[in-house]
């Protein structure tokens, strides 16, 4: 049977305290173990303490992990798109300048088109780029359009209940909140059960 120090070294635990922690018996009775010595800034024994055991300590390097920060995404705003205006603007572009002549260079034509200076000017005018802060760039695989609609409906009822402050609106909100909650749970469970 392996000794305790050998077992601890086999599972990569390192003893940080090496001095006497119990002065009466002159032994080290108090231990601190760590698997990552590189994260320990300091460790040791406090020579003064209220009991017959000396206090031991360790100071870990603090790694500040940022909270789940929001992501900024860019998208084209199609809410107010007038397709006829977009079509007219595209038809007015001088596409003849892009087409190479019989002795013209294809590279020169490509340079006119590659930066999308002609096309992008129209697209930026009719479909402007918008920025939006989102919690996560993509939804989890179990999330569906049905859940999104349930959450939107729940939020709509909450807004109405806060505005009207009637018991009936609060009752409807609570029913829909619970329904959305259980839908989310059941979608998660069904997804993870189907993965097995």
Residue 169 phi/psi, 5-degree rounding, is -65, -40
For residue 29, give its domain range. 4-60
Indicate whether 44 belongs to any domain: yes
pLDDT of residue 124: 83
Whether 185 and 159 share a structural domain: yes
Residue 121 phi/psi, 5-degree rounding, is -60, -40
The number of domains in the chain is 3
Note whether 59 and 32 are within 8 A (CB). Answer: no
Indicate whether 18 belongs to any domain: yes
Indicate whether 140 belongs to any domain: no
Whether pLDDT at 70 is above 60: yes
Reported as a single tens digit per residue, the pLDDT across 118-132 is 777 788 888 888 898
Within 13 Å of residue 160, how many CA atoms lie on the same side as its CB?
15
Reported as a pLDDT band with limits 50, 70 and 90, residue 147 is very high
Whether 93 and 129 share a structural domain: yes
Indicate whether 20 belongs to any domain: yes
Q: Is the dihedral of CA 96, 99, 102, 103 positive or negative?
A: positive
* Last residue of one domain, picked from the residues 83, 115, 134: 134
The secondary structure of 7-43, three-state, reads HHHHCCCEECCCCCCECCCCECCCCCEECCHHHEEEE
pLDDT of residue 182: 94
Indicate whether 139 belongs to any domain: no
Q: Is the dihedral of CA 97, 101, 105, 106 positive or negative?
A: positive
Within 13 Å of residue 166, how many CA atoms lie on the same side as its CB?
6
Reported as a single tens digit per residue, the pLDDT across 97-112 is 666 665 566 676 666 6
Whether 56 and 75 share a structural domain: no
Whether 12 and 54 share a structural domain: yes
Whether pLDDT at 186 is above 80: yes
* Last residue of one domain, picked from the residues 60, 81, 100: 60
Whether 130 and 96 share a structural domain: yes
Report which secondary-structure segment, H or E, holds 91.
Answer: helix 83-91
pLDDT of residue 49: 67
Indicate whether 124 belongs to any domain: yes
Whether 31 and 86 share a structural domain: no
Whether 86 and 130 share a structural domain: yes
Whether 165 and 129 share a structural domain: no
Reported as a single tens digit per residue, the pLDDT across 12-42 is 788 888 888 787 788 887 888 888 788 888 8
Indicate whether 66 belongs to any domain: no
Indicate whether 65 belongs to any domain: no
């Amino acid at each position: 049977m392996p000794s305790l120090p050998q077992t601890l070294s086999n599972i990569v635990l390192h003893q940080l305290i090496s001095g006497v922690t119990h002065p009466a018996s002159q032994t080290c009775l108090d231990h601190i173990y760590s698997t990552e010595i590189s994260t320990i800034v300091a460790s040791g024994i406090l020579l003064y303490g209220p009991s017959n055991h000396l206090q031991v300590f360790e100071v870990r390097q603090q790694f500040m992990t940022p909270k789940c920060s929001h992501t900024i995404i860019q998208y084209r705003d199609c809410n107010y798109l007038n397709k006829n205006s977009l079509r007219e603007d595209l038809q007015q572009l001088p596409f003849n300048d892009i087409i190479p002549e019989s002795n013209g260079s294809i590279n020169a034509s490509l340079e006119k088109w590659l930066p999308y200076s002609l096309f992008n000017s129209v697209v930026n005018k009719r479909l402007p780029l918008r920025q939006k802060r989102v919690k996560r760039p993509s939804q989890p695989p179990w999330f569906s359009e049905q859940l999104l609609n349930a959450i939107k409906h729940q939020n709509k009822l909450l807004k109405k209940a806060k505005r009207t402050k009637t018991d009936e609106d609060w009752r409807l909100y609570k029913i829909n909140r619970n329904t959305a909650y259980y839908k989310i749970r059941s979608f998660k469970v069904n997804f993870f059960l189907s993965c097995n």
